[in-house]
Amino acid sequence: FTSFLHLPGTSEEVASPVQQCFVVPKKEINVVSDMAKWKRSQAYADYMGFILTLNEGIRGKKLTCEYKPIEKLVALLNTLDRWIDETPPVDQPSRFGNKAFRTWYAKLDQEAEKLVSAVIPKHLADAAPEVAVYLKESVGNSTRIDYGTGHEAAFAAFLCCLCKIGVLRVDDQMAIVFKVFNRYLEVMRKLQKTYRMEPAGSQGVWGLDDFQFLPFIWGSSQLIDHPSLEPRHFVEEKVVNENHKDFMFLECILFITEMKTGPFAEHSNQLWNISAVPSWSKVNQGLIRMYKAECLEKFPVIQHFKFGSLLPIQPVTS
């Protein structure tokens, strides 16, 4: 992450609170014209740098390969998972948006700082309130009981902040995506299923997916230069069943086919079109462009993003 990390995780200055004044992140994008501020911001540059660094770091690698685990973050996500089991859906007339999600969320809202404090070293305790905001933003909206790519972006921002304060390091790239982010996806899928969450800002059949985007980017990078799997294969049930444990992209396809009925070309038209792209590197490049256009440059998604000292709204300095 050297490309965007201004604070080397080993340096003593990071440890001194004098150098870093942590703040509780807040909304800065209030009207459409504010989007220009976001695109010029240090936060945008760092966020995109983080996504692309990870994209390179996992290229051609399987989920099942060897890497150094990140136990504390996985334990945090396991806690969120356990709370779902402890908060069963309630009986209610409407099919979608089960109100038990609000109970589950209230618990996270209350405990988030404590959870984050368990992940970061003592000398960085002051960072917990700032970093915890991104964790709380990453699980969906408790009023609307929905979830979408803006929430997913908050989780990536949460991980990016942990890198900036030195909790995660350059050599953790595979573990960040394969262990931590993948575990996050499992918990989010469980939330989506358990509480029948609505897709936030869904474009229906014109969107890539109702809920996620990043695992398609990183998942396509994993498949670059694969000896036998080509993009045209991911619409084949047999291929998905045999390979989904190794590749995030196929794990996403499996979840879609479990959740939706009818022909794949109809319920997931964008993905169906992507299966016609000749190579995974082309798919990967196209998805990065699409992510910027459809998620990061859309006001309804970015208006909820919060900015603090670690992901500042100020224009890029370097």
Position with higher pLDDT, 10 vs 173: 173
Contacts 24+ apart (CB under 8 A), 227-233: 230/278, 230/279, 230/280, 231/274, 231/275, 231/276, 231/277, 231/278, 231/279, 231/280, 231/283, 232/275, 232/276, 233/275
Q: Quick one: which of 72, 144, 131 has its CA closest to 105?
A: 144
Band of pLDDT at residue 202, cut at 50, 70 and 90: low
Q: What digits encode the pLDDT tens for the residues 134-180?
A: 999 999 999 999 999 999 999 999 999 999 999 999 789 999 999 99
Q: Write down all domains in the chain, each with its CATH number in brackets.
A: 28-312 (1.20.120.1150)
pLDDT band, very low/low/confident/very high, at 19 (cuts 50, 70, 90): low
**pLDDT band per the 50, 70, 90 thresholds, residue 218:** very high
Backbone φ, ψ for residue 303 (5° rounding): -60, -20
β strands within 58-180, DSSP E: 146-147
How far is CA 202 from each of CA 16, 118, 119, 213, 301, rounded to the nearest angstrom?
43, 35, 33, 12, 10
pLDDT at 6: 42
Identify the CA nearest to 235 among candidates 223, 255, 250, 220. 250
Query: Tell me, what's the pLDDT at 201?
Result: 74
Cβ distance 173 to 54 under 8 Å? Answer: yes
Confidence of residue 205 (pLDDT cuts 50, 70, 90): low
> Which residues are registered as beta bridge partners of 211?
none
Identify which has the larger pLDDT, 204 or 220: 220
pLDDT at residue number 12: 37
Mean pLDDT (the chain) is 92
User: Distances in Å between the alpha carbon of 199 and those of 6, 94, 188, 299?
Assistant: 35, 16, 12, 16
What pLDDT is recorded for position 10?
38
The model's confidence at residue 318, banded by pLDDT at 50, 70 and 90, is low
With beta carbons less than 8 A apart as the criterion, state whether 115 and 131 touch.
no
Task: Please list the residues that pair with 199 across neighbouring strands.
Answer: 147
Residue 204: pLDDT band (50, 70, 90) is low
- 208: helix, coil or strand? coil
Residues of the chain with pLDDT > 90, as a percent, come to 89
73, 172 contact by CB (below 8 A):
no
Per-residue pLDDT, averaged over 204-215, amounts to 87
Q: How confident is the model at residue 5 (pLDDT cuts 50, 70, 90)?
A: very low
Residue range 231-243, pLDDT digits in tens: 999 999 999 999 9
Query: What average pLDDT score do residues 66-82 get?
Result: 95
Where does the chain show beta strands of DSSP type E? 26-27, 146-147, 198-199, 306-307
CB 231 within 8 A of CB 272: no
Residue 172: the pLDDT is 94
